[in-house]
Amino acid sequence: MSKGASYMMRGGKQYHLLVGPGDVAPIVLLPGDPARSDLIASTWDESRFIAFHREFKIYTGKYRGYPITVTSTGIGGPSTAIAVEELLRVGAKAMIRVGTSGAIQREIRLGDLIIGSGAVRLDGTSRQYVRIEYPAVADYRVVSALVEAAETLGYRYHVGYTASTDSFYLGQGRPGYRGYMTPQSSQIIQELKVARVLAFEMEAATLYTLSGIYGFPAGCVCTAVANRITDEYMVDAGIEYAVKVANEASRILYEKHVIEA
């Protein structure tokens, strides 16, 4: 029986991501869907496939001359935390979540971008790391770079809080199987709406909490593919905008020497 179960590896590679030193750039983009890793890598000047294990699909390449990596995280906080932990161990220095969200403010249109300045910690993973009173906030330099990129590209965007849930259904106010609901589930949209939370998503709170604990810059840009107030939905509405903004924000972070290439 091998020893070292507290820090697991596979032949010198990280246990889940199957990456090692030199495989990962200083800035990593984090979509949820592995197919979006393909999409993101296709927008770069060059890319090379690194690994695909479970939900984690990884490419490293260059965007406008700067090194960049994309790693899909799958859905939710548990797998996001695994990705963050293992990426940091092989040299990642900053991370930007690139994803989709369901808006809970009427004025947010489908395809608009939501740049998260912080997240309501409705996930369970971040609670495994630190007490719930610990704030989940994005790095102001990453938020600034995302805003600058969105403005330069001419995309509509909103800056504010998201709510990260562990449940796509009851956690976001949708009925479960056979219409199952709880009082808390039926009230969650209105509760967050009046508190000016912008949208639901499922990963930012975990990312921001680990960012604060471990001291690396992190941010999040999501496109609104649904509006829960107006009851509108469009698959992947504006995902290409979020990708372009994340790429440009990465360049900005390098050029402002927030992160060294």
Active site residue 257: no
**Catalytic residue (one of 16, 36, 97, 158):** 16
Q: Which of 86, 201, 203, 248 is catalytic?
A: 86
Tally the C-alpha atoms within 13 A of residue 205's C-alpha that lie toward its C-beta: 31
- Do 174 and 180 touch, CB atoms closer than 8 A? no
- The DSSP symbol for 33 reads S
Distances from the Cα of 119 to the Cα of 15, 151, 199, angstroms: 28, 22, 10
Catalytic residue among 36, 97, 121, 228: 228
228 part of the active site: yes
Strands in the chain per DSSP E: 9-10, 13-14, 27-30, 46-53, 56-63, 66-71, 94-103, 113-122, 157-165, 199-201, 218-227, 232-233
Comparing C-alpha atoms, which of 143, 127, 142, 145 is closest to residue 213?
A: 127
Measured from the Cβ of residue 232, the count of other Cβ atoms closer than 10 Å reads 14
Rounded distance between C-alpha atoms, residue 198 and residue 241, angstroms: 18
Instruction: Give the pair of three-digit tokens for residue 162.
Output: 């998201």
For residue 248, count other CB atoms closer than 10 A to its CB. 19
| Active-site residue flag, 191 | no
Written as six digits, the tokens of 108 are 């947010």
Of the candidates 148, 174, 240, 251, the residue annotated as catalytic is 174
Catalytic residue annotation: 16, 86, 174, 228
